[in-house]
Amino acid sequence: MYIRQSTPDQVQHNLESQRRQYGLVNRARALGWQEIDVIDDDLGVSGSGTRRAGFERLLRALCDGQVGAVFSVEASRLARNGRDWHTLLEFCSVLKCARGEGHPLWVLTVGYPGGKTRQVSLRPEQVPQVRKALEHYRDFKQTLEAISELNQFLLRLDREDSKEQERKP
C-alpha cells in the first residue's frame, strides 16, 4: 500500500486524502490480501522528480519479489513524471509478483502546458492503436519543426535582403 501527499501542509490539513489512502488497507483485505505493508514514508514529499524513500522502498520490494499487488488511491500518488512511471511499470510487468506472473499494465502519460500530466490506463488491445497514433504524432511534429526551421531561414534571408535594399542609394 503506497501512500503519499505532496506537501507538509497537505499532511496537516488534507485529512480526507489521508483517510481515503489509508482506507485502501480495508479494500485490500476485502480482496483477500492478508499481509499488507503500508508504505507512507513519503507523506509531505512531492512526486515531481524528488528522491522519495518510500517509492524506492516499493521498488526494492518489487525487485525482491515481496509484492503481490500495488495499491494507491490514484495514479498521481505513485508518480508524477515519466521516469518514475516507466520504472514502476517495468518492474511490475517484468518481475513476477508474489501471486503470479505479474500484472502488466499500460499507462499513457499525457503532458499539458504548464507541466501538468495525466495518466490514462489502456486496455492491452488499445496499445497498438495508441503506439501508431504516437508515431504519427512524432512524424507530424518533426515535419512542423522542419517547416518552422525553413520559415525562420527564409525570414532571415528576407531581413538581410531588406537591410541590403535600405543601404542602396
17 is catalytic: no
Q: What is the DSSP letter of 31?
A: T
Q: How far apart are CA 17 and CA 4, in angstroms?
A: 9
Q: Residue 11 is which amino acid?
A: V
From 6, 17, 76, 162, the catalytic residue: 6
Task: Report CA Rg, the chain.
Answer: 24
Which residues, at least 6 apart from 44, have a Cβ–Cβ distance to it below 8 Å? 5, 6, 7, 8, 10, 11
Q: What does 52-89 look like in DSSP terms, one character per residue?
A: -HHHHHHHHHHHTT--S----SSHHHH-SSHHHHHHHH
Q: What is the DSSP letter of 99?
A: T
Return the active site residues.
Answer: 6
